[in-house]
Structures are given as structure tokens and as C-alpha cells.
Amino acid sequence: MSEGKLIIIGGDAAGMGAASKIRREQPEREIVVFEKGYHTSYAACGIPYYIAGMLNSSDDLIARKPEVFIEKQNIDVRIRHEVLEIQAESKKVKVLNLEKQQELWESYDELLIATGASPIVPPLEGADAEGVFALSSLQSGIDVFKFMEKHNPRKAVVVGGGYIGIEMAEALLERGLEVSLIDMAPQLMTSLDEDMAEPVMEYMLENGVQVFLKEKLEQIERHTDGKVKKVITDKQSLDADLVILGLGIKPNSELAVKAGVKLGEKNAICVKKTLETSVPGVWAAGDCAESYHLIKEQQTWVALGTVANKHALVAGINISGGKAEFPGVLGTAITKFKDLEIARTGLSEKEANEMNIPFKANAIEASTLSGYFPGSGKIRVKLVVEDITGRILGGQIVGMQLSAKRIDTIAVAITAGMSVQQLVDMDLSYAPPFSPVWDPVQTAARTLL
């Protein structure tokens, strides 16, 4: 069991989760964490809801502040310290103290890279205008909130129709802004099949968001004082006092590759199931690292808080001398827009086609509760199953309140290798305030028998 000095690069979910696990297993080990931002262990997924004004303070999103790790867990957390270089052969890192603008070299015996991911910002004219934001860190969310408080914007343009785009459109509506959303894809939420994305767009339109698909961002125009003025696409010009760029994210793997660490899917850091990289003694976890896909049976890149926290546990166990493997992912994800809930897991039709898997798919519409019960709403459930075996490959759900968490039933069924017949046969609960007598997930499964 190694008790040598451990350096962790990155102080959010993966880095601090691993640090805490290692501290519990190795009370005396020296652990140093370098975090270039101001915060540790924060809930990035909650940033849109903070911006919407649903929380009392940004502090509500912080699970544990740096001083707590330092004082109560004896973990040497150094915020505002950016690692500039890793020298794997000599086992040391070059660090810049951002407050003092001083560089130093720090040695290590083992290293965990937990550098996360960054938003994609296109190299377009005006992308750096005041009032244009790309969300990633908690500080970026605080910056948006402060900008809105100071300038009271009236018109917002969200660029990108994925999870961040959908959630930010809701947040800005909640704050009383006029909201437009543009995306170059032919549908919102490309992780869904087109027939499941369509009701999402319809609901957003009904609730006041202007949605423009198949439009490419070309330029952001600014006023003479530097503030954002317009968003220019290949089809139109939209007035804007605030712009949110939700064009996706990329893994922060530049440090790793320069240190000779092998990269994999979408330039994420290639890791074994133990989370060790191609360089002995160097580990990686969280949004910067790959995961194994249980259905595709190959490496993939999934940047989700659930995955980062599970990576942290596995890396922490192994770095502290235990034995653990990360089993894999299905890409299970969930979000909402106002009262409409959206979830997916496993393979979509598009992904099954790309893998040349013979499949059947069907979507059904049902009620979230017994139809006569007050508060019952519409739910649409889609299943994708292997043609010959009936093995469940994927599922998608779009519906009103109490719809989306049913995706967990499908995720369990996929993980267990169940067929649609076995899903139909499952003894799921029933009472009118919770579900129809046939749960919509089982109704969808019955249509595929």
C-alpha cells in the first residue's frame, strides 16, 4: 500500500471525492490538491437553478469548502493554483500561484488528474463581448448572476439545444427574459431520437421560447461600450442583452497528453477500469477521463456528475491500496424544462443503427398516474430492443411531472441484461396516485413482444 505523496489536479467532484476516500483509508498520507478556481466540491448541475433565482445563495451549491478539507480532513487544498506542466518521468508538476503570479515545482509519488471539462467557445468575432457566457465552473454561474443583477437584461439568446441550453432557457424565462434558442442541428437534444425531441420543442414553444433549428452561429455583434448587441446566424439577426453559449464541452486533457499520457475517445484520457492511465502511478477521473460503455462494449466519454463521483470512489480505493474497477456507463441522463421532464439511457435508434445492431423500437403515450386521478399528465416512453433476443438496449422518456425517474427502471433492466418479456413480468408497484395499473414502461415493453 502506497503512502507516498499524492498530488491531485482539480478540486471538484472527482478530485475531492477521491481525496476524501484516500484520507479515510490512509489518515497520515500527504495529499495536495491544486485547484485553479475559487471553489471546491460544488454542484455544477445546479448552476442554472441558481441563476434562475431558485436558491438563496451560490453557497448552497458548495458541498464542502476548501477550509473544511484543510481543517477537518488534513487535505492540503490550494485554490487559485493552476498546474501548468506535468513531468511524469521526474514525478513533479509546475504550478502557478494565480494570486501571487509565482511559479513553483512540486514533487509527487502518485498523481490523480481530475481536470474536468471546458465549454466549447467558437473562435468567432464578438465571442468575448461583455454579456456572453459559457457555463462550466461555479464562478461562471456567479458571473452570469452578477451580470443580470447589474445590467437587468431583457433579451437573451441561448446557443445550443442540449442539456445546458434547455436548462438555461428555463432559468432565463424564470427571470422574466425574452428567450430565443438557436441550434445548427435539425432537432433539440441530439441524444434523443427525433420523435422524442419533437415534443420537447413543442413544449418550449408553447411556453414562450423562440426556437430556431438548422441555424449556425456566425458572429456576435457588440455595442461601442463592448456589451453584446446581436447574435448573427446564417439566417437572421437576433437582438441580445445576454448570450449563453451551450455548444457542448471538451475534456481538459492537454496537460495529460503533454506528459505522455495516452488519450482515447473524443480526446478524453484513456484509463483502465481501475482508472490508472497509460503512465504508471498516474490516474485520471471525472469529466477528463473515459468510461466503458456497457452496451457498446467499448470506451466512451460521458461527462456527468454521477460518473465523476463513481470514478472518484474507484480511483480513491485503488490509489489507497485497495482493489476496485469501474463497471461502466449507459449514458443515463435526466433534465427538465419547466414541468416537462426528459430522460434517456442506453442506445438510441441512431446509435443502434451506427452499431449495425438489428433492433425494434416503439414509443407509446400513456398517463403518469391513473387517468382519473387528479394531477395525472401525459408521458411518452420509447424502448429500443435487440430484434432477435428482445434484450433491452435503450430507453427514452418525455412527460409531465413524475415521468422521468422511471428511466431508472429501464437502466436497471439494461444493466441486468433483461429482455422486454422480463421487464413486462417485473412486479412493479401500483396505486392510483403513483402509476396506472400497467406502468408506462411496461406498456412500452408489451408493444415490443
The answer to whether the beta carbons of residues 64 and 105 sit under 8 Å apart is: no
Cell of 52: 434562475
Rounded distance between C-alpha atoms, residue 220 and residue 225, angstroms: 14
Q: Look up residue 175 and give its DSSP letter.
A: T
Cβ–Cβ < 8 Å for 400, 377: yes
What's the one-letter identity of residue 214? K
Tell me how far apart the alpha carbons of residues 139 and 62 are, in angstroms, rounded to a whole number. 11
Does the active-site annotation cover 288? no
Which alpha helices (DSSP H) does 121-208 contain, by range? 138-151, 163-174, 194-206
Give the whole-angstrom CA distance, residue 1 versus residue 26: 9
Beta strand extents in 88-227 (DSSP E only): 92-97, 102-107, 110-113, 117-119, 132-133, 155-159, 178-183, 210-213, 217-222
Q: Which of 344, 321, 324, 331 is nearest to 290 (CA)?
A: 331
The residue from 43, 45, 68, 98 that is catalytic is 45
Q: Quick check: 331 and 14 in contact, CB under 8 A?
A: no
Give the C-alpha separation, 445 to 449, whole Å.
7
- Grid look-up 401500483 returns 430
190: closest CA among 64, 350, 36, 46? 350
Cell of 75: 487535505
Active site residues: 45
